[in-house]
C-alpha cells in the first residue's frame, strides 16, 4: 500500500480532493494568497516552482484551514498532504527498512502532523510536517535510533533527505531517540511522555518560541504543545516533569559512570 493510498489521496475523484476542488474558490476568498493562477490540480507543481517563502504562505493557509483551531476542514489537510506527497514518498522510502507497514505508519503520522501544524507561529510547513511525521513513525515502530541514518528533510519543497553539515546535530538527535526508545522498552516513560518531550524540544529549538532560561519547559513552548495536544499547560508541565525525573532517576548514574 502506498502513502497516497493509505491517506485516500489517489485521484481527484476521492472524497478529500474532490471536496478541496469544490471548496477552492471559497478558500481563496478567505485566504487571497491561494489565488496563484492555477487550480488545485496545478498547486503541487506551482509550489515546486515558486519562491520558498511564497510557497510557504500557501501551505500555511492550507494548514490553517485544516487545523482544528483554524478552519477545521479535513479536505484542506488532504490538499496540503497531496502537495507534499513527493516528500512523503521519499520519507517512506528512507524508512522502508524498518518494517513492512511503513507506508501506513507514515500516512498516519503525516495526517497528525498536517492537522497540527503550528500555523500561528508561521513555521516552515514542509519541513515541519515531514520532521514531525518522521519522529512519530520512529516512535511508533520503536526504532532504536543508533540504526537510523543521519538524515533530515531539507528545507526545499522536494524534501530530499539531506545530511547534516556535520555529525553533531544528527548525532544529538539520534542520542535522544535512542534514550527514549530504551526508556519506553523499560517502561520508564510512555509513548505519550516521549511525544510531549519531543514536541517541547521542537518548539524550543526549531520554532519561533523564544529561548529562555526555562529551556525545554519554557511557558511559551508548553503553551504551544498544550494547544496541539488539546490539553492544559499545567498538564503538559506535570507530564514533562514526571518524565524528566523518571529519565534522570534511571540514567543519571549510568551517565556519570560511563
Alpha carbon distance 2, 15 (integer Å) = 17
Interatomic CA distance for residues 231 and 23, integer angstroms: 31
- Lowest mean pLDDT across 83-87, 102-106, 235-239: 235-239
Which of 44, 211, 207, 229 lies closest to 128, judged by CA? Answer: 207
Q: What is the pLDDT of residue 9?
A: 95
Residues linked to residue 152 through DSSP beta bridges, in sequence order: 162
- Rounded Cα–Cα distance for residues 177 and 25 (Å): 43
CA distances 139 to 61, 131, 186, Å, are 29, 12, 14
Q: Is the Cα torsion angle 228, 229, 231, 233 positive or negative in sign? A: negative
Q: How confident is the model at residue 16 (pLDDT cuts 50, 70, 90)?
A: very high
Averaged pLDDT score across all residues of the chain: 80
pLDDT at 162 over 60: no
Q: How confident is the model at residue 253 (pLDDT cuts 50, 70, 90)?
A: low
pTM: 0.62
> Among 60, 76, 83, which Cα is nearest to 24's?
76
Judge whether residue 152 has pLDDT over 70. no
- Please choose, from the candidates 73, 78, 139, the residue with its C-alpha nearest in 3D space to the C-alpha of residue 114: 78
Residue 19 above 90 pLDDT? yes
Question: Which residue has cell 503520522?
Answer: 109
Average pLDDT over residues 168-174: 46
Q: How many helices (H) and strands (E) does the chain have?
A: 12, 2
In 3D space, the residue among 77, 114, 94, 107 whose CA is nearest the CA of residue 159 turns out to be: 94
Q: Is the pLDDT of residue 7 over 50?
A: yes
pLDDT in tens, 20-50: 999 999 999 999 999 999 999 999 999 989 9
Structure-block grid coordinates of residue 30: 478567505
Mean per-residue pLDDT, 9-22: 95
| pLDDT tens-digit readout, 177-233 | 677 777 888 888 888 888 788 777 766 654 443 444 345 677 777 887 887 777 888
Query: Is the pLDDT confidence value at 146 over 60?
Result: no
Task: Tell me the average pLDDT across 61-88.
Answer: 95
By the 10 Å C-beta count (0-12 exposed, 13-18 middle, 19+ buried), 167 is classed as: exposed
Output the CA–CA distances (angstroms, integers) from residue 236 to 1, 29, 183, 200, 231, in the order listed.
36, 37, 19, 9, 7
Biggest alpha carbon–alpha carbon distance for the chain: 63
Amino acid at each position: 500500500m502506498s502513502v497516497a493510498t493509505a491517506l485516500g489521496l489517489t485521484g481527484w475523484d476521492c472524497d478529500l480532493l474532490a471536496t478541496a476542488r469544490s471548496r477552492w474558490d471559497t478558500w481563496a476568498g478567505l485566504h487571497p494568497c491561494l489565488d496563484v493562477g492555477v487550480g488545485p490540480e496545478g498547486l503541487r507543481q506551482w509550489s515546486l516552482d515558486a519562491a520558498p517563502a511564497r510557497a510557504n504562505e500557501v501551505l500555511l493557509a492550507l494548514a490553517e484551514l485544516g487545523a482544528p483551531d483554524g478552519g477545521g476542514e479535513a479536505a484542506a489537510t488532504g490538499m496540503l498532504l497531496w502537495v507534499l506527497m513527493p516528500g512523503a514518498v521519499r520519507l517512506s522510502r528512507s524508512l522502508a527498512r524498518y518494517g513492512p507497514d511503513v507506508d501506513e505508519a507514515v500516512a498516519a503520522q503525516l495526517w497528525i502532523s498536517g492537522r497540527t501544524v503550528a500555523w500561528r507561529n508561521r513555521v516552515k510547513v514542509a519541513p515541519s510536517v515531514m520532521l514531525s511525521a518522521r519522529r512519530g513513525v520512529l516512535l511508533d515502530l520503536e526504532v532504536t535510533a543508533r540504526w537510523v541514518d543521519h538524515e533530515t528533510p531539507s528545507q526545499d519543497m522536494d524534501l530530499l533527505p539531506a545530511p547534516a553539515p556535520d555529525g553533531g546535530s544528527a548525532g544529538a538527535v539520534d542520542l535522544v531517540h535512542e534514550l527514549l526508545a530504551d526508556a519506553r522498552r523499560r517502561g520508564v516513560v510512555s509513548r505519550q511522555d516521549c511525544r510531549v518531550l519531543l514536541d517541547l524540544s521542537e518548539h524550543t529549538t526549531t520554532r519561533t518560541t523564544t529561548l529562555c532560561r526555562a529551556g525545554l519547559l519554557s511557558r511559551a513552548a508548553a503553551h504551544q504543545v498544550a494547544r496541539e495536544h488539546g490539553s492544559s499547560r499545567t498538564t503538559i508541565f506535570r507530564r514533562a516533569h514526571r518524565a524528566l525525573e523518571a529519565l534522570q532517576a534511571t540514567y543519571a548514574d549510568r551517565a556519570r559512570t560511563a
